[in-house]
Amino acid sequence: MIFLRHPTPDVETGMCYGRTDLDIAEIGHGQIERAMELTPRVTRILASPAIRCRQLATRLAERDGLEVQFDERLWEMNMGEFEGMMWADIDRRKSEVWFADPMNHPTPGGESFADVQTRVLKALEAAHMETAIVCHAGVIRATQMAWEGKSFREVFDQMPPYAEPIRITPPSHQEGNAQPQDHTAP
């Protein structure tokens, strides 16, 4: 499957914007053009309903003669009380509890990363190998952990690039059909 993180969002550096519905920045239009060149043709497109994902998904769909299937389960992590705040302004007592175990502790009023992974994997159950998934960094990371056996730390050490195809193979299509190990602890 081909995963594409949305183009660069139009957001101030340092803002926590998980589910905040942002448009793309000016640079994002060029990223869409590049994604059109780099992304092979697909037979299905699943996407987060976020504006920043819709623009890329719609262009891919037009190119390949498809309709986009928007799925709420492909949204970025719900950051709860932290949404739309500058990271520097978030109460450290609250953020430290979450940072101690983001896999299992939800943000105040939001989700844990395990919650994200559960809903994302449900959304991907009906996908097949020629599917493009236009989504968010958290969705890509959750999938890499589940399907490639990567640890929380490994997936968060690298930021998925904006609007560039990343191929992730589901366990059912991996050589030997081996199931990845559980690496859910941060």
Could you read off the pLDDT tens digit of each residue along the chain, which spans 186 residues? 999 999 999 999 999 999 999 999 999 999 999 999 999 999 999 999 999 999 999 999 999 999 999 999 999 999 999 999 999 999 999 999 999 999 999 999 999 999 999 999 999 997 888 999 999 999 999 999 999 999 999 999 999 999 999 999 998 877 765 444 444 434
| Per-residue pLDDT, 172 | 82
| Per-residue pLDDT, 26 | 98
| Per-residue pLDDT, 171 | 87
Q: Which domains does the chain have, with CATH numbers?
A: 2-170 (3.40.50.1240)
| Per-residue pLDDT, 176 | 60
Distance CA(166)–CA(134), nearest Å, equals 10
Q: Which helix (H) or strand (E) holds 68?
A: strand 68-70
Is residue 48 within 8 Å of 77, Cβ to Cβ?
no
Distance CA(146)–CA(58), nearest Å, equals 27
Instruction: Indicate the Cα dihedral angle 43, 73, 27, 44, nearest 10°.
Output: 0
Number of H helices, E strands in the chain: 6, 5
